[in-house]
């Protein structure tokens, strides 16, 4: 179960060999109480469909943010579910929906086990220089740190890249680039993540479809003072109205690409800003890695049409000889493996 802000993607697997049974995606375009009703309707349709192929024994749920308490996969009981509800402020576009589906699974199929798999898990052991923000140190002691996201995807494609390179992952230095509705870059040295572009929340880093990514924090104070905005309004602007959408006025990357092809100025600017920031992160991660075996692109945009990858690589003349790969991620298979390993 891979719940996002506007969709639920799923894959069903037979156990123990994890051969695929079914897969699909539901779009979700409601909010508030209507969203709760729609999620329950979707879940009932899903379990009815899958149950025709066999008994559902376990669910693996992607949870974007585990907060301070959860990094590795965990079997969810009522106490864990209660703790997960405390993470909503850390990933407001994702965690409430993941937790909603976990609650539905626990109540409607009480005999099935539920395992939460965290996007933050791959980044548990980031070095201090990467994970600690230059704020008063007591904030770090209270849990304000870089957590990183898309970790399930970055870890999966890193493993696949190592296979293609015919090297153990523990001997690979990689830059993995996940580009989709949310986007992030990760530096991997000897198989371990040493830095990543997303931070305390999934708002930091690259320019994304509707998220701003990196901005001067002073802009927030300025906007609040000048336009008398409250915290909720600022969150809405930075998470839902900024990024490529804010620049181009369009909310779909394919539409932005099509408009850019027609020489629509704001769409060209949005695409160029997107590419520029990715290139900037790749260059900085190449500097801290020292040696790069491959740059690995994934996500709906990253492993989709090559135009974006080519535009990014065109400006990276210092990395001209480095291998470039496009690998389709499989977060659901990775989650199923982790859940099965835990339940065994």
Q: Any catalytic annotation for residue 119?
A: yes
Domain-located, residue 202: yes
Choosing from 83, 118, 153, the residue where a domain stops is 118
Question: Do 111 and 171 reside in the same domain of the chain?
Answer: no
Domain-located, residue 135: no
H or E, element range at 85: none
**pLDDT at site 32:** 87
State how many domains the chain has.
2
Q: Residue 17 gets which letter from DSSP?
A: T
Label the pairing between strands 58-63 and 113-118.
parallel
Catalytic residue among 22, 29, 77, 119: 119
H or E, element range at 227: helix 217-227
Question: Do 23 and 101 reside in the same domain of the chain?
Answer: yes
- In a 10 Å sphere around its CB, with 0-12 CB exposed, 13-18 middle and 19+ buried, how is residue 157 labelled? buried
Question: Do 191 and 107 reside in the same domain of the chain?
Answer: no
- Give tens-digit pLDDT for 21-58: 999 999 988 888 999 999 999 999 999 999 999 999 99
Q: For residues 35 and 43, is the Cβ–Cβ distance under 8 A? A: no
From residue 92, alpha-carbon distances to 39, 153, 176, 180 in Å are 17, 20, 25, 18
Question: Do 39 and 102 reside in the same domain of the chain?
Answer: yes
Q: What whole-number distance in Å separates Cα of residue 177 and Cα of residue 161?
A: 12
Q: What six digits make up the tokens of 67?
A: 């907060």
Question: Do 309 and 196 reside in the same domain of the chain?
Answer: yes
DSSP string, 311-333: HHHHT-GGGTTSEEEE----HHH
Question: Do 172 and 114 reside in the same domain of the chain?
Answer: no
Domain-located, residue 229: yes
Domain-located, residue 260: yes
Q: What whole-number distance in Å separates Cα of residue 256 and Cα of residue 206?
A: 17
**pLDDT at site 321:** 93
Domain that holds residue 205: 167-330
Q: What whole-number distance in Å separates Cα of residue 243 and Cα of residue 266?
A: 12
**pLDDT at site 147:** 96
Q: For residues 21 and 56, is the Cβ–Cβ distance under 8 A? A: no
Question: Do 71 and 220 reside in the same domain of the chain?
Answer: no
Helices 217-227 and 231-240: angle between axes, nearest 10 degrees: 130
**pLDDT at site 211:** 96
Q: Residue 336 gets which letter from DSSP?
A: H
Q: For residues 104 and 118, is the Cβ–Cβ distance under 8 A? A: no
Closest CA relative to residue 122, chosen from 158, 98, 92, 87: 158
SS (H, E, C) 138-180: HHHHCCCCCCCCCHHHHHHHHHHHHHHHCCCHHHCEEEEEEEC
Question: Do 207 and 109 reside in the same domain of the chain?
Answer: no
**pLDDT at site 217:** 97
Choosing from 118, 140, 157, the residue where a domain stops is 118
Domain-located, residue 141: no
Choosing from 90, 118, 146, the residue where a domain stops is 118
CATH number at 39 reads 3.30.420.40
Domain-located, residue 194: yes
Q: Read off φ and ψ for residue 316, nearest 5 degrees.
A: -100, 65
Q: Read off φ and ψ for residue 69, nearest 5 degrees.
A: -95, -25
Question: Do 173 and 96 reside in the same domain of the chain?
Answer: no
Beta strands (DSSP E) in the chain are 2-3, 7-13, 20-27, 58-63, 74-75, 113-118, 173-179, 183-189, 192-196, 294-298, 323-326
Label the pairing between strands 173-179 and 113-118.
unpaired
Domain-located, residue 343: no
Sites in the chain below the pLDDT cut of 50: none
- Residues across the chain: 344
Question: Do 194 and 56 reside in the same domain of the chain?
Answer: no
Domain-located, residue 161: no
Question: Do 208 and 309 reside in the same domain of the chain?
Answer: yes
Question: Do 12 and 97 reside in the same domain of the chain?
Answer: yes
């Amino acid at each position: 179960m891979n719940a996002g802000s506007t969709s639920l993607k799923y894959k069903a697997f037979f156990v123990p060999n994890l051969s695929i049974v079914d897969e699909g995606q539901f779009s979700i375009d409601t909010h508030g109480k209507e969203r709760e009703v729609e999620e329950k309707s979707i879940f009932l349709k899903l379990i009815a469909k899958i149950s025709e192929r066999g008994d559902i024994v376990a669910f693996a749920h992607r949870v974007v943010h585990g907060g301070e308490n959860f990094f590795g996969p965990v079997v969810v009981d009522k106490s864990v579910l209660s703790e997960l509800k405390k993470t909503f402020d850390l990933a407001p576009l994702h965690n409430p929906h993941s937790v909603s589906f976990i609650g539905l699974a626990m109540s409607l199929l009480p005999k099935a086990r539920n395992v939460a798999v965290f996007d933050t898990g791959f980044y548990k052991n980031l070095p201090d220089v990467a994970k600690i923000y230059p704020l008063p140190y007591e904030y770090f002691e209270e849990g304000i740190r870089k957590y990183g996201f898309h970790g399930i995807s970055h870890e999966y494609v890193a493993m696949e890249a190592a296979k293609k390179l015919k090297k153990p992952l523990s001997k690979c230095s990689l830059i993995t680039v996940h580009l989709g509705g949310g986007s992030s870059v990760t530096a991997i040295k000897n198989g371990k993540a040493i830095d990543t572009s997303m931070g305390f929340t999934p708002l930091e880093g690259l320019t994304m479809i509707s998220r701003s990514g990196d901005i001067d924090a002073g802009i927030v104070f300025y906007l609040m003072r000048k336009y008398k905005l409250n915290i909720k309004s600022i969150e809405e602007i930075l998470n839902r109205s900024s990024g490529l959408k804010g620049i181009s006025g369009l909310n779909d990357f394919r539409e932005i690409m099509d408009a850019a092809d027609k020489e629509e100025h704001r769409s060209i600017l949005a695409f160029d800003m997107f590419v520029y920031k990715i290139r900037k992160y790749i260059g900085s991660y190449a500097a801290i890695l020292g040696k790069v075996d491959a740059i690995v692109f994934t996500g709906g945009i990253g492993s989709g049409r090559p135009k974006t990858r080519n535009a990014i690589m065109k400006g990276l003349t210092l990395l001209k000889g480095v291998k470039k790969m496009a690998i389709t991620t499989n977060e659901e298979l990775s989650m199923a493996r982790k859940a099965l390993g835990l339940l065994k």
